[in-house]
Amino acid sequence: MPGTLVDRLPLPNLKVYTAGSVLLLSIAVYHATIVTSDPNWRANITLQRQEALAEPDGEAQLVDQAEVMPALNLNATRNLNERMVVIITFMMQEPLCMWTLINIAYCFLAVFGFLIQRVVFGQLRVSEAQRVKDKFWNYVFYKFIFIFGVINVQYMDEVMLWCSWFTLVGFLHLMGQLCKDRFEYLASSPNTARWVHVRLVGLLLGILAASTALLGVAVAWGLPAGKDTFAFMAAECLLVLMSVLHVGARYVLQQRGADAAGALAYYTHLGFDSASLVLELMHVVHMVVYSNMLVSMASLVLLMQLRHLLHELQARLRRHRLYTSLADHMSRNYPMASKEEVEKNQDNCAICWEPMKEARKLPCSHLFHNSCLCQWVQQDASCPTCRRGLAHGAPPPPPPTPPHNHLFHFDGSRYVSWLPSFSVEVTRARPSAAQLDAMVAQVLGMFPQADPAALRADLLLTRSAHLTLDNILEGRLQPPAEAPTVRPISPLEAPPAPEPAPPAPEPAPPAAEPGLDNLDVGSTSAIFSRNAPEREQNLRRRKEMLVAAARRRYLERRGEAAPPRS
């Protein structure tokens, strides 16, 4: 990570930097004022420039400008405006002053970013700050590669133009990243004031507008400079646009209360994810093709990035295939529950704890939201309630994906000869019916008295005759799952028969803290308040009560006196 190295550099903080920049600027302005107050300054400068022109120098353009400038009659009435124009013109021509101007522009941007951060985000969380930092250095690194490795700019002006372009785009990128992180954070926190959302949405709209404007710039300036330049510029803008729109879309989906796993939400995410991956991929491919360099540091970096992107795209598509085939499998094998069934079922969905209007019914007659079930089955193909395997007992065409081995093979040499090749096999195999029968027979051979149904159920779980044998030997054989075998492992049946443990009725001990002695340990239930600070306070209070009561009971039981409170 380049970031860790940079952490150790003594970078000035924003205040010092701003102060320094302003100081530099004022020195430059002062210098400009002094120089331009000399009526003959233009002549002097032009003279210097012409001397400089004798040497081959890349500043021909600037000199042209200087000569083209209409000679101002400095003896004429000088109003303030004119004076300012003169000073600025001078500063634009003088390289040192120019640099201070550039510096102050960056400073403005930094202050602007800081203000946005203050107003919209407040204190950044550690993870957000880290993410932005990483992304920043990553961005700087890749753009450096781009400018000097890919388009290979020759002239300082060109470098300046690209730098300012990337500064703006990068600024938007970082802001977009912050918005995304903050949105994810807000989505996971129950009580956020409305204005926090309003500000965030405002910033999102701002970024949207700014990146559209940059796209306009790309069309206006990039297009005349050539198709390649335009494509490079546009790709950057589109990436920012895409990520901002994605956050926006998630906002909309959330506001509409659409179930996060609903088909609409799923395809929105899929669309945005794959579109931005494809776009980025094309962008990198374009760079590789454009730079037309086969062996160089830049190509190495680009190809690494390319590999990473391809990998991610493949993974995304693989996940999508899994999802569709699961959804397909479920809709083919497990019909939706009928209206009466859903109505008769009073319970909420056991996965999300929310009421069900529609439900999918599993063969074990447990009902769940379709989307909840889909997500769970991606992890584990069994009924969440009774753990009955969903692949088991499926009609002849065997369920396509969940029980399949996924062989992921990456053939690096297909892309570049030095890239490694590797395969990853993801085994999620469930024994086939024939294998299962064979294993049941094997175990029955050793334990003829065992219940074949129980064996079958256990083998389905262990997937190995060996483990099932262990289970039989240690008496852990599961009974066949007829009734839901959720086992909340009730603690109350577990403890060994308690010795005489008096439930300690309240003889009002002398040591009890005032205000707490009328409380029973068991009854720490409370009202569930609607606002967060009150809930937090209640929780703390209940905790204190629990500890105080426990301490009191403990001392009573031991017949000890309460220690002096420190």
Partner 1 sequence: MMAGSALRRLMAEYKQLTVNPPEGIIAGPINEDNFFEWEAFITGPEGTCFEGGIFPAKLVFPPDYPLSPPKMQFLCEMFHPNIYADGRVCISILHAPGDDPMGYETSAERWSPVQSVEKILLSVVSMLAEPNDESGANVDAAKMWREDREQFNKIAEEIVRKTLDLPPP
Residues 495-514 that bind partner 1 (CB under 8 A): 495-499, 501
What residues between 254 and 313 interact with partner 1 by CB under 8 A? 254, 259-261, 269
Binding mask 177-206 for partner 1 (x = CB under 8 A): -------x--xxxxx---------------
Q: Is 482 in the site for partner 1 (CB under 8 A)?
A: no
Rounded CA separation 143/150 (Å): 9
Residues in the interface with partner 1 (CB under 8 A) total 74
Q: Which span sits near partner 1 by CB under 8 A: 150-158, 304-312, 394-402, 518-526?
A: 518-526
CA 336 – CA 324 distance, rounded (Å): 17
For partner 1, the closer CB: 219 or 260? 260
| Region 241-260 residues binding partner 1, contact defined as CB under 8 A | 250, 254, 259-260
| Segment interacting with partner 1 (CB under 8 A) among 58-66, 148-156, 227-235, 543-551 | 543-551
Q: According to the binding rule CB under 8 A, does residue 379 interact with partner 1? A: yes
Piece of the chain touching partner 1 by CB under 8 A; list 79-87, 133-141, 447-455, 476-484:
476-484
b or e along 56-83 (b: 16 or more beta carbons within 10 Å of the residue's beta carbon)? eeebeebbeebeeeeeeebeeeeeeeee
Choice between 227 and 565, CB closer to partner 1: 565
What's the rounded Cα separation, in Å, for the pair 91 and 27?
11
Residue among 264, 272, 274 at smallest CA distance from 315: 274
For partner 1, the closer CB: 305 or 471: 471
Q: Give 309 or 350: the residue with its C-beta nearer to partner 1.
A: 350
**Closest C-alpha among 102, 84, 70 to residue 33:** 84
> Among 488, 507, 510, 514, which residue sits at the site for partner 1 (rule: CB under 8 A)?
488
**Of the residues 135, 310, 462, 509, which one makes contact with partner 1 according to CB under 8 A:** 462
Return all residues near 503 (Cβ < 8 A) that are at least 6 apart.
Answer: none
Minimal distance, residue 314 CB to partner 1, in Å: 20
- Secondary structure (H, E, C), 393-438: CCCCCCCCCCCCCEEEEECHHHCCCCCCCEEEEECCCCCCHHHHHH
- Contact string (CB under 8 A) for partner 1, positions 148-167, x = contact: --------------------
**Signed CA dihedral, 190, 195, 196, 200: sign only:** positive
| Least gap, CB of 559 to partner 1 (angstroms) | 12
Pick from 74, 147, 288, 352 the residue near partner 1 by CB under 8 A: 352
Q: In the window 77-136, what residues touch partner 1 (CB under 8 A)?
A: none
Which residues 380-419 are close enough to bind partner 1 by CB under 8 A? 380, 382, 384-385, 387
User: By CB under 8 A, which span of 20-28, 293-301, 313-321, 520-528 interacts with partner 1?
Assistant: 520-528
353 binding partner 1? (CB under 8 A): yes
Three-class secondary structure of residue 382 per DSSP: strand
Whether the CB-CB separation of 299 and 248 falls below 8 Å is answered with no
* Widest Cα–Cα separation across the chain: 118
Task: Report the C-alpha gap between 175 and 166 in whole angstroms.
Answer: 14
Q: Which is nearer to partner 1, 109 or 351 (CB)?
A: 351
Contacts of 85 (CB under 8 A, 6+ apart): none
CB contact at 8 A, 93 and 45: yes
Q: Which of 238, 277, 350, 436 binds partner 1 (CB under 8 A)?
A: 350
Rounded Cα distance between 368 and 384, Å, is 9
Nearer to partner 1, 36 or 471 (CB): 471
> Which residues lie closer than 8 Å to 512 by C-beta, 6 or more apart?
548, 552
3-state helix, strand, coil in the chain (%, to 5): 65, 5, 35
| Nearest distance, CB of residue 247 and partner 1, angstroms | 12
Please, which of residues 26-55 interact with partner 1 by CB under 8 A? none
